[in-house]
């Protein structure tokens, strides 16, 4: 998958719908997808996580509870959903814009701003997405997301 296509056709339009855009957010989501799945795996190899961003069902449920208290954000997200009602977690597998939105909302809940630099974003991902107990490392993020450095926008 081409990073430019993901940025222009999936990530940027999704962030625009949510009103959560910006280059730092785009780069962080691209980096997250690269380290979590390489934008190749739609299901975690040995685990419950789904989609390119490898969102676990428990995290998805937590985000849905968060959205229940934010009707304006939920209205924006509905523009990216397919079907009526609350989407099943499986929509993270086949609806790229919805999965991207859920990943962005996960990060949106963090009061700390997204760092502008590549290394800072790697540490941010580890702290807030992979979590301190997760098996991922900052070094692994830097390795997997290295293709971004060629198109990294400061």
Specify the CATH number for the domain of residue 85.
Answer: 1.10.530
Residue 55 — φ and ψ, nearest 5°? -85, 130
| Six token digits for residue 113 | 């701003």
Query: Stretch 98-114: mean pLDDT, rounded?
Result: 97
What does the pLDDT average to over 128-134? 88
Query: Which domain, by its residues, includes 55?
Result: 3-150
Q: What is the mean pLDDT of residues 95-108?
A: 98
Q: What pLDDT does 134 receive?
A: 83
- What pLDDT, on a 0 to 100 scale, did the predictor assign at position 1? 61
Distance in angstroms (rounded) separating the CA atoms of residues 117 and 55: 24
Mean pLDDT taken over the chain: 93
pLDDT digits (tens, 9 = 90+) for 32-85: 999 999 999 999 988 899 999 999 999 999 999 999 999 999 999 999 999 888
The more confidently predicted of residues 12 and 131 is 12
Per-residue b or e along 93-118, where b marks 16 or more CB atoms closer than 10 Å to that residue's CB: bebbbbbbbbbbbbbbeeeeebbeeb
How many domains does the structure of the chain reveal?
Answer: 1
* 93 pLDDT higher than 80: yes
Residue 154: the pLDDT is 43
Three-state SS at 126: helix
pLDDT at 46: 86
- Grade residue 151 by pLDDT with cuts at 50, 70 and 90: low
In this predicted model, what pLDDT tens digit does every residue of 10-26 receive, in sequence order? 999 999 999 999 999 99
pTM: 0.93
CB atoms within 10 A of CB 135: 8
- Give the CA distances from residue 36 to residues 73, 83, 106, 132, in Å, rounded to whole numbers and listed in that order: 25, 27, 14, 15
Contact 103, 128 (CB under 8 A): no
- What does the pLDDT average to over 103-127? 97
Write the DSSP assignment of 80-109 as a string of letters.
T--SSSSPPTTHHHH-HHHHHHHHHHHHHT
């Amino acid at each position: 998958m081409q990073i430019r296509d993901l940025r222009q056709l999936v990530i940027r339009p999704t962030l625009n719908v949510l009103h959560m855009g910006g280059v730092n957010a785009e780069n962080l989501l691209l980096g997250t997808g690269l380290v979590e799945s390489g934008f190749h795996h739609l299901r975690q190899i040995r685990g419950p996580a789904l989609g390119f961003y490898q969102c676990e069902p428990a995290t998805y449920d937590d985000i849905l509870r968060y959205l229940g208290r934010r009707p304006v954000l939920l209205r924006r997200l509905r523009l990216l959903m397919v079907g009526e009602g609350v989407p099943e977690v499986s929509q993270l597998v086949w609806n790229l814009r919805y999965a991207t939105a859920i990943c962005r909302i996960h990060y949106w809940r963090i009061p700390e701003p997204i760092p502008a630099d590549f290394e800072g974003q790697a540490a941010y991902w580890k702290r807030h997405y992979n979590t301190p107990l997760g098996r991922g490392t900052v070094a692994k993020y830097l390795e997997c997301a290295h293709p971004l450095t060629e198109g990294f926008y400061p």
